Amino acid sequence: MQAVEISEPGGPRVLQLTERDRPAPGEGEILVKVKCAGVNRPDVLQRTGNYPPPSGASDIPGLEVSGTVEGTGGGATRFAEGDAVCALVPGGGYAEYVCVHESNALPIPTGFTFAEAAAIPETYFTVWHNVFQRGGLKPGESLLVHGGTSGIGTTAIQLAKAFGAKVIATAGSAAKCAACGRLGADRVVNYREEDFVEAAREATDGEGVNVILDMVGGDYITRNYAAAAIEGRVVQIAFLHGRTAEADFSQLMVKRLVHTGSTLRARPVEFKAGLAAELQEKVWPLLADRKVQPVMDMLYPLHEAWRAHERMEQGDHIGKIVLDLG
């Protein structure tokens, strides 16, 4: 099969098209003939040598795919050959075939293209776990989303609104702010021109925000504490501004805050299966009705995966970047 491998740690051009052996599904797994693969920030980190794949995972980048079931391993009965699926994988997505445990795959929502379906798993699994499980966002509460036009951000805005929350989003340009507004954000902050702490307080009548989804880190940490409400929850999923910072931890005590975080890739199959089951029950009906949907940015052929990484690193994208394998 054709696949994109990382020839050595470095810039986008180290992504090279190569030939690999087609994988064989193991116990409980399905073999997916990949139609499209999502591109995500962890792929970029892996390419630069800063996010190695977990033990047992493929060294080929790619954490989400859509396609058709080509074969099944022993005991795999959830899907039949030919079924259209999307799946969260621990690696191997940038390839013509990938194996995944059947419990980590889901049927493609009704009416969705393969490109749209490939843009779902990584962001929807991540947002569901971090905003609704770890963050405990409830109807009537408020959510502050940093990076509102990223794949994670566009998903978080839509899901939070769908489940009855008030959403404040940050973005870095007028066009990106407008995109957040179209997705339903109640207040959008251009972080280059406004202080998101003050804006968040104003938008919540001085009470502060109940849940903050942060992928920035660095100097945002203390500012997140200032923007948070009493009993607020800050959920950390990345560190674009750095993983270390000076912070006023007295705010954790005074406001009784919870600052938590998570990574998803290395979690056990069983944990991801639980997320998949919740998503199919609670979110898949919203997708089928187009009440929420992935925001699509650009589609690139597999051999131009390096261009997809360039676009992600440039930071101009709004929504999801996807590879098309035809």
The answer to whether the Cα torsion of 125, 127, 133, 138 is positive or negative is negative
The structure's pTM equals: 0.96
Q: How confident is the model at residue 232, as a pLDDT?
A: 98
Q: How confident is the model at residue 270, as a pLDDT?
A: 98
Assign 3 to helix, strand or coil: strand
Same CATH fold assignment for domains 2-120+265-324 and 124-261: no
Domain boundaries, the chain: 2-120+265-324, 124-261
Q: How confident is the model at residue 233, as a pLDDT?
A: 98
Assign 132 to helix, strand or coil: helix
C-alpha distances in Å from residue 207, one per residue of 200, 203, 210, 218, 242: 9, 9, 9, 24, 28
Provide block-wise average pLDDT over 10 residues at a time, the chain (326 residues). Answer: 98 98 98 98 97 95 98 97 98 98 97 98 98 98 97 98 98 97 98 97 98 95 97 95 86 96 95 98 98 98 98 96 96
User: Is residue 279 within 8 Å of 125, Cβ to Cβ?
Assistant: yes
Class of domain 124-261: alpha beta
Crossing angle for the helix pair 151-162 and 174-182, to the nearest 10 degrees: 30
Q: How confident is the model at residue 72, as a pLDDT?
A: 98
User: Is residue 125 within 8 Å of 295, Cβ to Cβ?
Assistant: no
Assign 259 to helix, strand or coil: strand
Q: How confident is the model at residue 288, as a pLDDT?
A: 97
Query: Using H for helix, E for strand and C for coil, what is the string for 276-297?
Result: HHHHHHHCHHHHHCCCCCCCEE
CATH architecture classification, 2-120+265-324? Alpha-Beta Complex (3.90)
